[in-house]
Amino acid sequence: MRLGLVIQNNGAPAPALARTMPRCAEELGYDSIWVTDHVVGVRAFRPVYGATWMEAFTTLAHAAASTSRVRLGLGVLVVPYRDPVLTARMITTLDHLSQGRVDVGVGTGWSRAEFHALGRGHLFDARGEVTNESLDLMLRCWQGGEFEWRGSGFDLRKMAFDPVPYQRPHPPLWIGSRSGRGAAMRRVAKYADVWHPTGLSPDELREAGDRLDALAGRPIRRSIRLSVAPGTSTSRLVEELAAYRAAGCEEAAVDLGGPDAALARDDASARILAAAQELAAQRDAIAG
C-alpha cells in the first residue's frame, strides 16, 4: 500500500509546515502529499478547523517547486464553489509545472456559510448537480481544442483550451464519499479513477467498495484519508493501515495534525514532523 501524508495547510503552524513539509515528506519516502481545500473559517468547522488557511492550489504550486518525485494531492477540492474553467486551467498549470504529479480530489462541500463567503451561496442546494456539470466541463476542457458548451449552469461559445494536461487523458480524479449508496456514490461510479473516502472503518470500506464496484460495473481503486489523534502509537497506526490494506485500500493519506486545538500548541510542528518520521520508518510493514 502506498503512503501519503496530509500537509497541515490549516491551523497556527500552517505557513511554516506548508513551506517545509513537502520536501521533508519526499525525503522520508512518502508517495504523496495532500492539502485540504477550505478558504475561510466558519463556526460550523469548529473544533476541527479554525480560521487559519493556506490556499490549496498556491500551497501545492510551492510544493511542486520544492519536490521532484512525490505526488501532489488536492484532498478534496470543493468543486462547486470554484469556476470549472478556471479550475481546469489551474489544475492543468500545476500538472505541467510538476511534470504530471497531480491527483485531483473531488468533493461537493458542506458549509453553506463558506459558499456564501465566496459568492456562490445560490448554488449550495444544487451543489451535487453543479459538481457533476463542472466535472463534465472540466473533462471537456482537458480534451483541448475549440468547443461550445450549453448546460444548465454554464454557457460557453467558441472557447479554446490549450495546453491540455501533462497527464493524459487528465489528472486522476479521487472522489470522496462516505456511503455506499445515493447520488454521491453514483458520482464516484461515473467519474472516479480512485474512491477517496474519509472516516470509514476497514470493514465499511470493503463493503461500500464492493457495492461501488457493482454500481460502476468496473473495479474502482480504493483509498482512505485517515485522521490520527495526537499521541496515537505508531504500532497501533501501522496495524490500522494493515487492516485497510487487507480491505483493498491501495493508498492512505494520513493526517497527523489533529483538530485545531492540537495545532495551536507550541510544539505542533515538531510533533507532526516526529510522527511523520516514525511512520515513514515503518514503510515496509505498511506496504506489505
Provide mean pLDDT across the span 157-168: 97
Provide mean pLDDT across the span 153-175: 97
Q: Residue 288: pLDDT above 90?
A: no
Q: What pLDDT is recorded for position 44?
A: 87
* Cell matching residue 183: 447520488
Give residue 180's pLDDT band: very low, low, confident or very high (50, 70, 90): low
Q: What is the pTM of this model?
A: 0.96
CA-CA distance, 249 to 154, in Å (whole number)?
A: 36
Q: What is the pLDDT of residues 84-111, one digit of tens each?
A: 999 999 999 999 999 999 999 999 999 9
Q: What pLDDT is recorded for position 130?
A: 97
CA-CA distance, 115 to 131, in Å (whole number)?
A: 13
Structural domains of the chain, ranges and CATH numbers in brackets: 2-287 (3.20.20.30)
Q: What is the pLDDT of residues 19-41, one digit of tens each?
A: 999 999 999 999 999 999 999 99
CA-CA distance, 102 to 172, in Å (whole number)?
A: 8
Q: What is the 3-state secondary structure (H, E, C) of 216-261?
A: HCCCCEEEEEEECCCCCCHHHHHHHHHHHHHCCEEEEEEECCCCHH
CA-CA distance, 184 to 80, in Å (whole number)?
A: 14
198 CB-near residues (< 8 Å, 6+ apart) = 176, 178, 224, 225, 226, 227
Q: Residue 179: pLDDT above 70?
A: no
